[in-house]
């Protein structure tokens, strides 16, 4: 393979594939839902999770008013829904109604949880900062929803039961339902690579 070097970032898809989540938000009587590929855990104690959202998005407007959001992890079988909510404007339409999205009640916040999610986090915003053209919202996870059968006894995702929604960029999604999982011993890897 030939390595290319450029000063510009181009399409900026080098860091994909990424697990894509669906963020739900609610303020007043209005709900919205959007796809987010830019997200990450930040801390285990306290449990913090961050999402990067453009301040132009209706979802950001709702989160900034309510101070809360939910992170919904959907299986690859819901990739069409992820693409639809990611490609439509919540300020102009009711995505829940238009796409017939089923929702469950949250435990501690007003924001709904998606029924199709194999796991979801209820979050209260603890920090909101502007970085370039996006806002990084850090939320403290105050409640967790999950389907027990979607996880192994070690609490990792059971890939025999659930294939997560992975986004490759440029409207491409990866279904890993027929994959190979390798468990690697870190010490053995260190020893192998040192020799």
Write out the chain in H/E/C secondary structure. Answer: CCCCCCCCCCCCCCCCCEECEEEEEEECCEEEEEEECCEEEEECCCCEEEEEECCCCHHHHHHHHHCEEEEEECEHHHHHHHHHHHCCCCCCCCHHHHCCCCEECCCCCCCCEECCCCEEEEEEEEEEEEECCEEEEEEEEEEEEECHHHECCCCCECCCCCCECEEEECCEEECCCCCCCCCCCHHHHHHHHHC
Mind listing the pLDDT tens digit for each residue in 61-86?
999 999 999 999 999 999 999 999 99
If one compares 138 and 10, the residue with the highest pLDDT of the two is: 138
Can you give the residue ranges of every domain in the chain? Answer: 18-194
Residue 169 pLDDT: 87
| Average confidence (pLDDT) over 43-52 | 98
Separation of alpha carbons 193 and 195, rounded Å: 6
Average pLDDT over residues 48-63: 98
pLDDT band at 103 (very low <50, low <70, confident <90, very high): very high
What is the mean predicted confidence (pLDDT) over 131-151? 97
- pLDDT of 16 higher than 90: no
Check pLDDT > 80 for residue 13. no
Q: Are 74 and 118 in contact (CB under 8 A)?
A: yes
Domain 18-194 has what CATH class?
mainly beta
137 vs 40: CA distance, rounded Å? 10
Q: Across residues 29-36, what is the average pLDDT?
A: 96
For residue 178, what pLDDT is reported? 66
Beta bridge partners of 30: 27
Backbone angles phi, psi at 102, to 5 degrees: -85, 140
What is the pTM (predicted TM-score) of this model? 0.91
pLDDT at 179: 67
Percent of the chain clearing pLDDT 90 (strictly above): 74
How far, in Å, CA of 148 to CA of 157, rounded? Answer: 10
């Amino acid at each position: 393979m030939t390595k290319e070097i450029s000063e510009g970032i181009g399409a900026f898809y080098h860091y994909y594939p990424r697990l894509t989540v669906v963020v739900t938000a609610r303020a007043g009587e209005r709900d919205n839902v959007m796809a987010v590929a830019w997200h990450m855990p930040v801390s285990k104690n306290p449990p913090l999770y961050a999402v990067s959202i453009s301040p132009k998005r209706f979802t950001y407007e709702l989160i900034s008013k309510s101070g809360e959001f939910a992170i919904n992890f959907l299986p690859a079988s819901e990739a069409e829904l992820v693409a639809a909510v990611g490609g439509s404007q919540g300020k102009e339409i009711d995505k829940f109604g238009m796409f017939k999205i089923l929702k469950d009640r949250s435990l501690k916040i007003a924001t709904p949880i998606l029924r199709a999610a194999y796991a979801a986090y209820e979050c209260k915003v603890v920090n909101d900062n502007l970085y370039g053209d996006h806002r990084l919202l850090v939320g403290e996870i105050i409640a967790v929803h999950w389907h027990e059968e979607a996880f192994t006894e070690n609490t990792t995702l059971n890939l025999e039961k659930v294939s997560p929604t992975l986004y490759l960029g440029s409207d491409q999604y990866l279904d890993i339902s027929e994959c190979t999982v390798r468990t690697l011993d870190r010490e053995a890897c260190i020893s192998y690579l040192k020799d």
